[in-house]
Amino acid sequence: APAMAERLGLGRAALPEEISAWDVAVLPDGQGLRPGSGDVATGEEVFAANCAMCHGEFAEGLDAWPVLAGGDGTLRDMRPVKTIGSYWPHLSTVYDYIHRSMPFGAAQTLSVDETYAITAFLLYSNGLVEEDFVLSDKNFTEIQLPNADGFYPDDRAESEYPLFSAAACMTDCLPEQKITKRAVELNVTPTDPDGKPAGTLPDLHAAAAVAPAS
């Protein structure tokens, strides 16, 4: 614990109902879960009403909106599909994030039971439970997501820093270099009216005469 310096006596005690209103975080071991439950069928209804317009009826994602299910086994592919089922480590994050921050544009409108139900439906959409599954605060931590062991803490101090901390070469370091990629060939940068990259510095030979009025 930090050394107890003199307290200034600023602030006031947080009331239990205030803490309950704002601390809705759920940790991987289930800390923060509140009593409640929801089944897949209910979750499907709530999802259809609140979520499917962006994420699709089956959580497969519409247009460019995030895909919530699928992509299993793609993490070593050229273009991995990272979803709750293929990538996310903890079910707690699903509950917590949806409850706090979804639907996009109308967050914090889902009840505890509705959030359990949507979470159950997303487990079902990802092929992880049967259609009669009921999720509750009691069985929540029994659910293990497929990629639970897929992460490790930052190891750059071992895997990169020693390699990149050698004295740098200053002369005759490499053979002659050739261009292998040019951004202009993709041509996906916003442009100014003259076709130059947007925000290109004005040409001072012409700028004074053509400086646009604001």
Partner 1 sequence: MNNDEPETGTSRRGFLRQTALAGAGLVAGTSAARAEGADPLITEVQPWATEFGDPVDAVPYGMPIRFEQHVVRRNVEWLTESPVSSINFTPIHALEGTITPQGCAFERHHSGAIELSKADYRLMINGLVERPLVFTFEDLLRFPRTSVTAFCECAANGGMEWGGAQLEGCQFTQGMIHNMEYVGVPLRVLLEEAGVKPEGKWLYAEGADASSNGRSMPMEKALDDVMLAFYANGEALRKEHGYPARLVVPGWEGNMWVKWVRRLGVYDRAVESREETSKYTDLMPDGRARKWTWVMDAKSVITSPSPQAPIRHGKGPLVITGLAWSGNGKITKVDVSMDGGRNWVEARITGEAKAKALTRFHLDIDWDGSELMLQSRATDETGYVQPTKDALRAIRGRNNVYHNNGIQTWWVRADGEVENVEIA
Task: Retrieve residue 171's tokens.
Answer: 């002369």
CB of 110 to partner 1, least distance (A): 12
Closer of 6 and 132 to partner 1 (Cβ): 6
CB of 24 to partner 1, least distance (A): 9
Q: Does 53 bind partner 1 (CB under 8 A)?
A: no
Give 51's contacts (C-beta < 8 A, 6+ positions apart): 59, 102, 103, 118
Give 146's contacts (C-beta < 8 A, 6+ positions apart): 72, 85, 86, 128
Q: Does 142 bind partner 1 (CB under 8 A)?
A: no
DSSP 213: P
> How many residues bind to partner 1 according to rule CB under 8 A?
97
Q: Does 8 bind partner 1 (CB under 8 A)?
A: yes
Q: Does 132 bind partner 1 (CB under 8 A)?
A: no
Q: Does 170 bind partner 1 (CB under 8 A)?
A: yes
Rg for the chain, CA atoms, rounded: 26
The angle subtended at Cα 76 by Cα 72 and Cα 82, nearest 5°, is 45
Four-CA torsion 116, 122, 128, 132, nearest 10 degrees:
60
Q: Whole-angstrom Cα distance, residue 1 to residue 73?
A: 43
Cis omega (within 30 of 0) for bond into 103: yes
Q: Which of residues 72-111 bind partner 1 (CB under 8 A)?
A: 75-76, 80, 82, 84, 87-90, 92-93, 96-97, 100-101, 104-105, 107-108
Closer of 132 and 179 to partner 1 (Cβ): 179
Give the rounded distance of the alpha carbon of 100 from its chain centre: 13
Closer of 42 and 145 to partner 1 (Cβ): 145
Q: Does 30 bind partner 1 (CB under 8 A)?
A: no
CB of 52 to partner 1, least distance (A): 16
Q: Does 17 bind partner 1 (CB under 8 A)?
A: no
CB of 9 to partner 1, least distance (A): 8
